[in-house]
Structure 1
Amino acid sequence: MAGWGWVARIEAWEMQFVNCAIFPSFTKLTLPPNVKGPEALSFDPRGGGPYASVADGRILKYLGLNIGFNDYATTSSLRTKQQCDGANASAASTCGRPLGNTFNFLTGELYVVDIKFGFLVVPSGGGLATQLATGFNGIPFDLPNALDIDQLNQVVYFTDSGAIFLTQNMTQIVQSGDTSGKLFKYDIKTKQITLLLSGLGGPTGVAVSQDSAYLVISEYIFSRIRKFWLRGPLAGSSEILINLQGSPDNIKRTILGDFWVAVAVMQQQPIQTSSAIGLRFNGFGNVVASVNFTSQFNGNPISEVQENFGRLYFGSLTENFVGVYGI
């Protein structure tokens, strides 16, 4: 009974996020000068961070109010601080542009996907990442985007969103109907990569369930979340879990096993803007909570919502800060 009481307290805390309109405890963790685009976030095995993948090719670690963000890792051996610090994604061929990043809690290594340098791993303690793969079966990745780790079975799942995302034109991407996206599996023990699923419409997020039975995958182009079964009688098959009113990006699992997904709802009139929406959903496809931080992100979309130690952390492709909401 004591365990259920703890769960009830957690759930009561979570409900404060539902459809909130005023955010008195929203704060900004400001990035270094001229740095933008903390697209994906992670926390290390000790809860330190957030670690943010930013547009100039670095992964930065937050060290507290007095220090702010410091360099933690890079993905490009060609990178120099003079040329790259503060650069934007147009310099990715030299500087790198890491997107998804997730820690292996067993080893302390940080696994990363980069739009130019593929699938990589950063040694425990940080530094230059080691490239693990730039393609599959002789075919280069188009745009590696998101990843998650099954910590128990030591397997990394990552997505390739498809070449259409290289246009960086979200309207064009959504209207393309492109189905070149893929889902891959990397076995840390055997170092083997396997293609699990193809024909995806812009897979921009992936997360493994708490029991390692299935994955949830964002399909940005088709405004939906797909479930892919890893175990059981349906293993190897997939189904549509949720159809959304906007385009979903990164997905992160909560401590209780639900998931947060960042959703962009585009509005064309009178000017093009996007609502910064976070939805919490469960493995049955039920949305159980929502947050709207559109004003805090100046009408730009968010790329990630992640829960950690009683707070929600928000990433984006455009801003010079990581947003935080919570006590």
Structure 2
Amino acid sequence: MRPKLLLTALIVLLLSALIAVKRINHSSQATHNIEKSSNNNFSLFEAVPIEDAIGPESFAFDPLGEGPYTGISDGRIIKWQQNQQSWINFAITSPERSLEIRILRLMFEPFVSLTDSVSQPRNYCLHSKDISECPPYSHKLWDPCVGLMSCACGSHILCEYEGYAEISTEFTTGIAGRDGCEGPHDHDQMEHICGRPLGLGFINTTGDLYIADAYMGLMVVGPNGGIATKVATQVQGVPLGFTNGLDIDQRSGVVYFSDSSSQYQRRNHISVILSGDKTGRLMKYDPENNQVTVLLNNLSFPNGVALSQNSHYILVADTTNCRVMRYWLQTSKAGTFEVFAQLPGFPDNIKTSPRGGFWVAIHSRRERVLEWVLSYPWIGNALLKLPFDIMRAYSYLAKWRGSGLAVRLSEQGEVLEIFEEKSGNRWTSIAEVEETRWNFMDWVNNNAFCRQV
């Protein structure tokens, strides 16, 4: 076959795999159970958009029940303020970024008698490269540190100035010095600089937030936010190439997390699937001894993770193979690995349900042509060598061909119920689903989350 004809055939094959009209065969047992359990009452949900960025990937509520918090494409972790019905900045993961503190209100209380009178409260900005180094108190000051080095510490201001007065503040955080990171667009070319927070999880006893950043590794930030600190960037001499999902054992403080690939970064995640890459790992971090241990390796795109309620096992999404795997931590099966559930599409994050079992977000259904392509790794590798941006092609086509859904599985891996739109107002992708006593929430379309109303 001529090179041009071969190239054309491969391109047609790729497009067919991405936009095939026919769905996966519904005669399989797992899919059959899903269809019987469908629930499509989407009128009960409202979308809350994300401004100035895209790509909410997972979310978490803090120990006080506030939030949710989510990481977005420009490297920020933002928090939902229910009383204000808006998002505020909480933290960033890139050490190259500085944090801008905007003072909203100043209340001056004279500490000593000075000749100068107190000026009217006004807004100003303070900058710090490492807020985590600030002590948990504020210095005394009269004038708000004009022209001097200063930094913010929790809800106080640390400032060096020759005047004296006591100051208390209320402020929100904004991001400064972020050339190329701002704006409601795809930040994939800047992710390695801006950071890309994915999995999130709070320690209930301390309020610390652990973060799986796709490029920065496993990180943690205190309950007041700021710049996150790196916990692990490599394990057994192998760098974390695509840190993804995490979950926390609240009894021990151990953090379980996945590294999806050591060969491909997040911005090339389609390559992980098409190439048949098997360099993924499931790991645990023990804060007691600051050690990271590899539980499983040679995995195909390990994604979201979820610990069982009794901590006997942990689930990990096997995205490439459209299934969820179970790794036993305790009982006589400890150390063994098995298939937990086969799914009709590509699983993303996993969350426990308060009604029992687990919610699995399925990013999109796997269609027949794509299933065939993935069964022959040489085809996927050939597609990756074509002279065009496969990630861009996938992103464009997913906007009008995506078909996300959410499945609740029992503790035995059986399908209990599903949320999937069939009335025409489809959800192009779903990254995570969480159910609470008050509402039910899930991420949709990479730029908003939906909540039950």
**Cα drift, residue 175 of structure 1:** 3.2
**Cα drift, residue 93 of structure 1:** 2.0
Query: Any conservation in 1 of the 2:405–2:427 contact (CA below 8 Å)?
Result: no
Taking structure 1 as the reference length, what is the TM-score of the superposition?
A: 0.87
**Cα drift, residue 313 of structure 1:** 1.5
Q: 1:108 matched to which residue of 2? A: 207
Residues 90 and 265 (structure 1), Cα distance of their counterparts in 2 relative to 1, 3 Å cut? same
Aligned residue runs from structure 1 range 154-303, under 5 A: 154-163=253-262, 165-166=264-265, 168=267, 172-263=271-362, 264-267=364-367, 273-293=401-421, 299-303=427-431
**CA–CA separation in structure 2 for the residues paired with 1:170 and 1:218:** 15
Match of 2:436 among 291, 297, 308: 308
Match of 2:65 among 27, 36, 47: 47
Residues 104 and 305 (structure 1), Cα distance of their counterparts in 2 relative to 1, 3 Å cut? same
Bigger shift: residues 103-112 or 134-143: 134-143
> Unaligned stretches of 5+ in structure 2?
1-36, 99-174, 371-396
SS at the partner of 1:90?
helix
Letter in 2 for 1:126: G
Aligned residue runs from structure 1 range 110-129, under 5 A: 110-129=209-228
**CA–CA separation in structure 2 for the residues paired with 1:256 and 1:296:** 29
Q: 1:85 matched to which residue of 2? A: 182
Percent sequence identity is: 35
Per-residue deviation, residues 234-276 of structure 1 (Å, max 9, x unmatched): 101110011111111100112244110111204579x652211
Tell me which protein shows more strand as a share of its residues: 1
Cα RMSD of the aligned pairs, angstroms, is 2.2
> Unaligned stretches of 5+ in structure 1?
1-17
Taking structure 2 as the reference length, what is the TM-score of the superposition?
A: 0.64
**Cα drift, residue 167 of structure 1:** 6.6
Letter in 2 for 1:320: N
Letter in 2 for 1:288: L
> Does 2:242 align with 1:143?
yes
SS at the partner of 2:274?
helix
Letter in 2 for 1:311: N
Residues 184 and 294 (structure 1), Cα distance of their counterparts in 2 relative to 1, 3 Å cut? farther
Residues 19 and 95 (structure 1), Cα distance of their counterparts in 2 relative to 1, 3 Å cut? same
Q: Which protein shows a greater Rg?
A: 2
Match of 1:27 among 29, 38, 46: 46
Runs of 4+ aligned residues of structure 1 deviating over 6 Å after TM superposition are: 294-297
Letter in 1 for 2:310: D
Q: 1:321 matched to which residue of 2? A: 448
Query: Any conservation in 2 of the 1:294–1:301 contact (CA below 8 Å)?
Result: no
Query: Any conservation in 2 of the 1:266–1:274 contact (CA below 8 Å)?
Result: no
**CA–CA separation in structure 2 for the residues paired with 1:212 and 1:108:** 21
Query: Any conservation in 2 of the 1:161–1:180 contact (CA below 8 Å)?
Result: yes
**CA–CA separation in structure 2 for the residues paired with 1:200 and 1:68:** 39
Query: Any conservation in 2 of the 1:276–1:297 contact (CA below 8 Å)?
Result: no
Query: Any conservation in 2 of the 1:134–1:140 contact (CA below 8 Å)?
Result: yes
**CA–CA separation in structure 2 for the residues paired with 1:78 and 1:280:** 40
**CA–CA separation in structure 2 for the residues paired with 1:217 and 1:111:** 18
